[in-house]
Chains A and B, each alone.
Chain A
């Protein structure tokens, strides 16, 4: 049974945006998902890209309020 974890980095700044995401991603088992709430700009540009570079799968990126996005990442 895969789990879905949630992480809100809308109040974080570089480098903690991806530091926190990475530390949460490391907790996932194969097939688990992480839902990341983030702001547009640097986090939106970099978090999905960096996750893919590390071998995770970005399943969706959708708007979730003004200048906020929800990114779903799967291991």
Chain B
């Protein structure tokens, strides 16, 4: 790895549909122009990485199961504004397709194709009752602050 390699590390904290679009747009765009890109998913952002994209009661305890069912996965992400009881993300996806703008699943696939590294926050997973096996297979590692600092050192960091 060369010392002048450009690097972007994104912390995907939010599970909002629109914020995740911003995160994956930046990630795939930066990776396309040759930047090394890390995405650290924590708290609500983890919902985007769940294997099950719908509402599944993951976890061991009752609270975990209720929480995970209510949060859902990639298909249940709410819009941060004007969510209209969950109707807006699919309306917006329809508009994006019509206007030929990449949808969230397309941006995620682009990030994968361009070898963006996905990491999941260990503590948030414990809190939310989510295990590594519940997340998509290309999550490279489950880690904490120390590893995040090590991987992001010397590059740009964004919290979304």
A53 to B100, Cβ gap below 8 A? no
Q: Do residues A19 and B34 form an inter-chain contact, with CB atoms below 8 A?
A: no
B29 lies within 8 A of A23 (CB) = no
B113 within 8 A of A: yes
CA distance A13 to B101 in the complex (A): 6
Q: Is B74 an interface residue (CB 8 A)?
A: no
Q: CB-CB < 8 A to B102: which residues of A?
A: 13, 15-16, 19
Describe A's contact surface by its main secondary structure. Answer: helix
Residues B32 and A15 in contact, CB atoms below 8 Å apart: yes
Q: Are B114 and A54 in contact (CB under 8 A)?
A: no
| Chain A residues within 8 Å of chain B by Cβ, number | 15
Task: Confirm or deny: B33 has a beta carbon within 8 angstroms of a beta carbon on chain A.
Answer: yes
Of residues 11 through 56 on chain A, the ones whose CB sits less than 8 Å from some CB of chain B are 11-16, 18-19, 21-23, 46, 50, 53-54
A14-B25, A50-B34, A54-B33 known; A22-B100 Cβ under 8 A: no
CA A12 to CA B110, docked complex, whole Å: 14
9 additional contacts, CB 8 Å, given A19-B110, A54-B33? Answer: A13-B99, A15-B29, A15-B32, A18-B33, A21-B32, A22-B33, A23-B113, A50-B33, A54-B34
In the complex, how many residues of chain B place their beta carbon closer than 8 angstroms to a beta carbon of chain A?
A: 16
Within 8 A of A (CB), among B96-141: 99-102, 106-107, 110, 113-114
A residues lining the B interface (CB < 8 Å)? 11-16, 18-19, 21-23, 46, 50, 53-54
Which residues of chain A are within 8 angstroms of B114 by Cβ–Cβ distance? 19, 22-23
Candidate in B29, B33, B113 with the most chain A CB atoms within 10 angstroms: B33
User: Which of B25, B32, B100 sits near A11, CB closer than 8 Å?
Assistant: B100
